[in-house]
């Protein structure tokens, strides 16, 4: 057995060479340079910045144009507006600054994230992020389509148009972070790739609001993930890896907490395992714990590198993935026997 320290953790993601497959996903961990540096020091292979949200920029731009219009109608007062406008630092400016500062502070690749809900304006921001030095872009397509007139096909077309526009506007590699709720995931994933995406990030976590029964208020509180949530990306990466081929990058996100979780997602064909909740819970030092667990598992199982493990277990072993899934479904349901070890509550 090779020693854990000699295991080669290098991987390639979106054409970028990473020293480790453990990546910090988009979120509060990377919203300041100190946080990014702490993660890089702890050993992540790359960082994804929090998303730049279209709504925030639009709200600011609307606010600014109201101010300017009001100013032009009342000329004397308008003079007062100009200094404020000159000093105006928009969300987008602050984001570009964060990107530039983070790039200066760390030596690992930095991925910028855009949360887009409409086409046009995003192309502008994608270009600005590319100019500011992003190594890649992650397009965070997060929406809850509540309009009863909007069909699934229309939702997919709109999302694909957005991916096409952004990919055509920059030469940077673009990864698309998808929700798990597309009804024909395999087909949609292939179309996202055909639209120009170099990688998929699977999956975004939707934050489900709760109700406070005393006040009858809607409670919007972020809950951190649990390890069992890994099952969804695990299944889909196993299905998609053989379908998309090795030229397309796959990142697993949702439920990666331990070294074993990283082993699992790599084994089914991920190029990287992304983490946020576990690091928020335990601090940046958790990255080195997970790395040690990964190294130890690989060494104990006679793997000398991450490359050797990657994709070793996937749906490639089954010629018909749907039949395999259906057979598994039946087997799982039939495995439930009163009184046996399956009768334990699920993980919370």
Ligand X SMILES: Cc1cc2nc3c(=O)[nH]c(=O)nc-3n(C[C@H](O)[C@H](O)[C@H](O)COP(=O)(O)O)c2cc1C
Chosen residue from 43, 71, 173, 255 binding ligand X by CB under 6 A: 255
Min separation Cβ 27 and ligand X, Å? 3
Chosen residue from 11, 258, 277, 314 binding ligand X by CB under 6 A: 277
CB-based contact 49:31 (threshold 8 Å):
yes
Kindly indicate which of the ranges 25-33, 127-135, 290-298, 317-325 contains the residues binding ligand X, using the contact rule CB under 6 A.
Answer: 25-33
At residue 274, the 3 state secondary structure works out as: strand
Kindly indicate which of the ranges 154-162, 188-196, 250-258, 302-310 contains the residues binding ligand X, using the contact rule CB under 6 A.
Answer: 250-258
Distances (CA, A) of 325 to 36, 127, 145, 235, 321: 39, 41, 28, 9, 6
Min separation Cβ 333 and ligand X, Å? 27
Min separation Cβ 140 and ligand X, Å? 4
Q: Which of residues 58-117 bind ligand X (CB under 6 A)?
A: 113
CB-based contact 67:88 (threshold 8 Å):
no
**Contact flag: residue 30 with ligand X (CB under 6 A):** no
Measured N-to-C along each axis, helices 286-300 and 33-42 cross at an angle, to the nearest 10 degrees, of: 20
CB-based contact 212:219 (threshold 8 Å):
yes
Chosen residue from 30, 140, 165, 249 binding ligand X by CB under 6 A: 140
In DSSP terms, 272 is beta-bridged to 251
Cis peptide before 203 (omega within 30 of 0): yes
**Contact flag: residue 254 with ligand X (CB under 6 A):** yes
Q: Provide the mask over 317-336, with x wherever binding to ligand X is found by CB under 6 A and - wherever it is not.
A: --------------------
Chosen residue from 13, 16, 21, 25 binding ligand X by CB under 6 A: 25
Q: Which of residues 169-198 bind ligand X (CB under 6 A)?
A: 177
Min separation Cβ 49 and ligand X, Å? 8
Query: Pseudo-torsion of CA 217, 222, 227, 228, nearest 10°?
Result: 30
Query: Pseudo-torsion of CA 195, 13, 249, 170, nearest 10°?
Result: 0
Measured N-to-C along each axis, helices 286-300 and 259-267 cross at an angle, to the nearest 10 degrees, of: 60
**Contact flag: residue 283 with ligand X (CB under 6 A):** no
Chosen residue from 21, 27, 71, 199 binding ligand X by CB under 6 A: 27
**Contact flag: residue 50 with ligand X (CB under 6 A):** yes
Kindly indicate which of the ranges 87-95, 117-125, 219-227, 298-306 contains the residues binding ligand X, using the contact rule CB under 6 A.
Answer: 219-227
Kindly indicate which of the ranges 5-13, 90-98, 253-261, 292-300 contains the residues binding ligand X, using the contact rule CB under 6 A.
Answer: 253-261
Kindly indicate which of the ranges 37-45, 120-128, 146-154, 251-259 contains the residues binding ligand X, using the contact rule CB under 6 A.
Answer: 251-259
Per DSSP, 226 falls in state -
User: How many residues make contact with ligand X (CB under 6 A)?
Assistant: 22
**Contact flag: residue 11 with ligand X (CB under 6 A):** no
Min separation Cβ 280 and ligand X, Å? 6
Min separation Cβ 99 and ligand X, Å? 14
CB-based contact 45:20 (threshold 8 Å):
yes
Largest CA distance in the chain: 82
**Contact flag: residue 262 with ligand X (CB under 6 A):** no
Distance CA 210, CA 219 (A): 5
Distance CA 4, CA 307 (A): 15
Chosen residue from 17, 28, 94, 326 binding ligand X by CB under 6 A: 28
**Contact flag: residue 222 with ligand X (CB under 6 A):** yes
DSSP string, 154-188: HHHHHHHHHHHHHHHH-SS-EEEEE-TT-TTHHHH
Residues that bind ligand X (CB under 6 A): 25-28, 50-51, 113, 140, 177, 204-205, 222, 224-225, 253-256, 275-278
């Amino acid at each position: 057995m090779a020693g854990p320290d000699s295991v080669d953790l290098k991987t390639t993601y979106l054409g970028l060479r990473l020293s480790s497959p453990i990546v910090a996903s988009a979120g509060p961990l990377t919203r300041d340079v100190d946080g990014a540096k702490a993660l890089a020091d702890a050993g992540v292979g790359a960082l994804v910045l929090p998303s730049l949200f279209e709504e925030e920029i639009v709200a600011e731009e609307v606010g600014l144009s109201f101010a300017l219009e009001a100013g032009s109608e009342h000329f004397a007062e308008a003079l007062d507006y100009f200094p404020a406008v000159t000093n105006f630092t928009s969300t987008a400016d602050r984001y570009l600054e964060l990107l530039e500062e983070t790039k200066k502070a760390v030596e690992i690749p930095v991925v910028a994230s855009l949360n887009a809900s409409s086409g046009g304006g995003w192309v502008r921001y994608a270009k600005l992020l590319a100019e500011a030095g992003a190594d890649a872009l992650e397009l965070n397509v997060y929406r809850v389509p509540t309009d009863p007139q909007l069909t699934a096909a229309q939702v997919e077309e709109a999302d694909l148009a957005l991916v096409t526009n952004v990919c055509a506007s920059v030469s940077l590699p673009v990864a698309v972070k998808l929700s798990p709720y597309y009804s024909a995931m395999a087909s949609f994933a292939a179309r996202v790739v055909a639209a120009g995406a170099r990688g998929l990030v699977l999956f975004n976590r939707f934050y489900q609001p709760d109700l406070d029964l005393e006040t009858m208020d809607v409670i919007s509180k972020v809950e951190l993930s649990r390890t069992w949530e890994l099952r969804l990306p695990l299944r889909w990466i196993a299905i998609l890896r053989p379908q998309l081929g090795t030229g397309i990058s796959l990142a697993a996100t949702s439920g990666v907490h331990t070294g074993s979780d990283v082993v699992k997602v790599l084994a089914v064909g991920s190029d990287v395992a992304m983490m946020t909740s576990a690091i928020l819970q335990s601090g940046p030092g958790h990255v080195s714990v997970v790395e040690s667990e990964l190294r130890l598992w690989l060494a104990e199982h006679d793997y000398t590198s991450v490359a050797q493990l990657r994709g070793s277990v996937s749906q490639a072993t089954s010629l018909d993935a749907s039949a395999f899934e259906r057979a598994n479904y039946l087997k799982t349901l039939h495995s439930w026997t009163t009184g046996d070890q399956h009768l334990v509550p699920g993980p919370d």
